Amino acid sequence: MQSTKLLPSACVQQIVRGSQKTQHGIQRIGLATREGEFVEGFYTDRRTSSPLPGGSNGNYLIVCCEGNGGYPEIGIPLVPLELGYSVLAWNHPGFGSSTGMPFPKQECNAMEAVLLFAIRHLKFKWNEIYLYGWSIGGYTASWAAMNYPSLGGLILDATFDDLDELARRTVPNCLYPLVLATVKQTLDLNNSAQLIAYNGPVRIIRRSDDEIISTSEPPTRASNRANVLLIKLLKHRFPNLMTVENEALLTHYLTLSAEEQASFVEEMNCYPEQHASYISNFLKTEAQRAQLVAATAADDDDTTNPGSYSGLFPSQLGSQVSDPTTKFGMLLYLVSRYFTEAPGTHCAPLSSYCFELPWWPCERVSADTL
């Protein structure tokens, strides 16, 4: 693995001077990637004193991955900062003072350097680190989750499944095969495949009026690619609940407003919350069994750390349930835990009440504590 030594840094940018730097204790850092590129980053460590009442949030590090054209000084770190979390953010290659070009390989190398800094220098444990990726930043966030499976969790905000359908929207049909082949060869951002390879806690945030990752004009909930990202994840993790019928029902459910969803659930006579205890206990038992197996095989000195979430999915949840209504109710309960809709467009600031750590049915147990 490459060195994460600190590099001599230039003057701190104006945006992190003054009130923000004083209020949040922000520090500017420089990191080296395995290719020798410079990564500009910013962090604040709040483990000793979180500014909010009962501030245990500071014990968790939110690693922020910006979208296209996004800068951490004025972007997605603001919400976790307001909520009292420890935060580590970085500029894309070629953005700010970071060197290089924002192509997938260099993006992933920068993400690697950032995570190793969090582990080796800030001394956060793997299960204390959460990835937060907005828009195209979901690519580096899901890549990191796939490659560092002991990370505490993954939050994907306004993120797509892959570029295929989004590319189709922007070019004539006659050119689509050529564009698709080019995308696959040079810019294959398959977020859903990377997400499925991660077994830890996940939260997907969909923007209600997202005009960027929707494939219709005007944009609609039905055409939002975050729906596909969620469905692919649930099909992988809970195949016994994601029957053909339930997938069709869920696809329809995701097109509805909150009020319409409530009416739909009532019409279906399935009440998701009544399954909460059964689902949590079932998944807790599966998780504890998988964690024990993973702990036996784990090497604490391995930087990639195979992790406490290894082997959890696909789950057997629902395999012993025959009633279709019960299965759909269980599925909707899981949707309520994996999925959040936030008001606004793609680039609108996220409301702080929409940001929370991903749900997990049991206490997170790291391999070195078992």
pLDDT exceeds 80 at position 111: yes
pLDDT: is 179 or 224 the higher one?
224
Closest to 299 (Cα-Cα) out of 288, 314, 310, 289: 310
Mean pLDDT across 241-256? 98
Domain boundaries, the chain: 14-240+338-369
- Torsion sign (Cα): 239, 243, 246, 251: positive
pTM as predicted: 0.88
pLDDT of residue 307: 55
Task: Give burial (CB, 10 Å; 0-12/13-18/19+) of 178.
Answer: exposed
Cα 40 versus chain centre, distance: 21
The pLDDT tens digits of the residues spanning 291-347 come to: 777 666 655 545 445 456 878 899 999 999 999 999 999 999 999 999 999 999 999
* DSSP letter (8 states) at residue 59: G
Query: Whose structure tokens read 């793609």?
Result: 346
With cut-offs at 50, 70 and 90, classify the pLDDT of residue 118: very high
Q: CA 48 to CA 56: how far, in whole Å?
A: 9
pLDDT of residue 171: 77
pLDDT of residue 295: 67
The pLDDT tens digits of the residues spanning 38-82 come to: 999 999 999 975 555 446 899 999 999 999 878 888 899 999 999
Query: Whose structure tokens read 């001394």?
Result: 123
14-240+338-369: what fold? Answer: Rossmann fold (3.40.50)
Q: CA 171 to CA 179: how far, in whole Å?
A: 8
Residue pair 29/117 in contact (Cβ under 8 Å)? The answer is: yes
